[in-house]
């Protein structure tokens, strides 16, 4: 029983050094938001249209969006 307790403590300490703080922060993350700012017509033909979308993204989290 004592061996299990010691192993559990060592496991928790190793998690702490492996980024437990970052793991906890990830659990408290908010969803990023995106807002359509503008739409421009780049090219227009009888068979196609090329559009340029300007999107504003707000990420309130300390972790970057990939």
pTM over 0.85: no
* pLDDT given at position 40: 96
d(CA 49, CA 41): 7
pLDDT, one tens digit per residue, over 1-58 is 677 777 777 776 665 555 656 666 666 778 889 999 999 999 999 999 999 999 999 9
- Run of H or E residues at 29: none
Q: Which two tokens stand for residue 66?
A: 């990939």
Of residues 31 and 63, which shows the higher confidence score? 31
* pLDDT score for 13: 65
Domain map (residue ranges) of the chain: 2-58
């Amino acid at each position: 029983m004592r061996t299990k307790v010691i192993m559990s403590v060592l496991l928790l300490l190793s998690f702490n050094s492996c980024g437990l703080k970052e793991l906890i922060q990830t659990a408290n993350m908010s969803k990023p938001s995106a807002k359509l700012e503008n739409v421009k017509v780049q090219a227009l033909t009888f068979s196609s249209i090329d559009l340029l979308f300007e999107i504003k993204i707000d990420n309130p989290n300390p972790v970057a969006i990939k």
